[in-house]
Amino acid sequence: VPGFGSAPRLTIDHQVNHSVTLRCTSQGWYPQPEVRWTDSTGQKITAVAETRIQKDATELYQIHSTLTVADIASDTISCIIRNPLLKRHHKKVIAISG
C-alpha cells in the first residue's frame, strides 16, 4: 500500500559566514521516495545534498537530508519529497538571508 508521508520539516541547521546548512526530514513514505532540493528559480541543487533514507519498524521510509550551500544567491530553498508511485509530493520552502 503506497504511503504518502508527512509534510517535510525544513530547518536551518547552522549558518556560518556565507554558508548555510539546511535539514529536511519526513516520515511515513512507501515506496522509497525521491528527494529533491531546488533554489528560488526552480534549479535543482540536489547534487550537493547528503540524503539518508531508512525503513522504520513499520516498513515505511524516513528521510533525513542535509544541504550545505555557500555564497547564497537564492533567497529561498525548497525541499521536495515525492512518492513516485502516487506521483504526489510534499514541498517545503525556507527563506534564508545571505
- Give CA–CA dist 44/79, Å, rounded: 10
Q: What does the DSSP assignment read for the chain?
A: --B--PPPEEEEEEEETTEEEEEEEEEEEBSPPEEEEEETT--B-GGGEEEEEEE-TTS-EEEEEEEEEES---SEEEEEEEETTTTEEEEEEEE---
- Number of domains composing the chain: 1
Is residue 1 in a domain?
no
Is residue 23 in a domain?
yes
Whether pTM > 0.85 for this model: the answer is: yes
Provide the CATH number for the domain around residue 58.
2.60.40.10
The dihedral built from the CA positions of residue 9, 34, 14 and 98, taken in this order, carries a sign that is negative
pLDDT at 15 (0 to 100): 79
Structural domain range at position 63: 9-95
Task: Please write the tens of the pLDDT for every residue from 19-74.
Answer: 889 999 999 999 999 999 999 899 998 778 999 999 999 999 999 999 998 766 66
pLDDT at 23 (0 to 100): 97
